[in-house]
Amino acid sequence: MTDSAMSRQLERVQNWDRVKALLAAPDKGWMETLGARIVEAEPGRVVVELMAGPQHRHGGGVVQGGVITQIADAAMGMSLATFQPEKVWNTTIELKINFIRPAVEGRLRAVGRVIEMRQTLLFGEADVFDAQDRLVARASSTCMPVPEGQGRE
């Protein structure tokens, strides 16, 4: 099967059960620590929000770039996961982010979307917006599929 044919085949996997599970999952782990939550999900698109406050700022008074990167990475990875079969997830192997403007406080919204699904590589993008819907950052990632339970050895 050619890469193009495999890409089309993988794109047809719309994992609605995973979409429902993402929306129903409690905010725990890193999401609970940061105060992030999944607010929208559909096959190929996931939105993660964070109410930024003083706890997210660095010494310069703006939201630390790692916080913004974390919600963008999560939105991209989860959007890719909505096109993956059961018992297969993904992990980021490369991530790039451009910061457009600083954020100080208020809602930050990372909108992740699938760009392309290949057999061994998955590509996603995310835009992060502030409460005034201004672009704060744009990210792209390359991920690889990981069967559930693997990669933890």
Given a cut of 60, is residue 28 above it in pLDDT? Answer: yes
Q: How far apart are CA 13 and CA 125, in angstroms?
A: 19
Is the model more confident about 10 or about 64? 64
Which structural domains are found in the chain, ordered by start?
Answer: 3-147 (3.10.129.10)
Sole residue written with tokens 């003083």 = 54
Q: Which of the four pLDDT bands, split at 50, 70 and 90, describes residue 8?
A: low
Q: Which of the four pLDDT bands, split at 50, 70 and 90, describes residue 4?
A: low
Structure tokens at 115: 């760009």
Residue 3 has a pLDDT of 54
Q: For 2-65, where are the E strands, in sequence order?
A: 36-42, 45-52
Residue 24, C-beta contacts closer than 8 angstroms, at least 6 positions apart: none
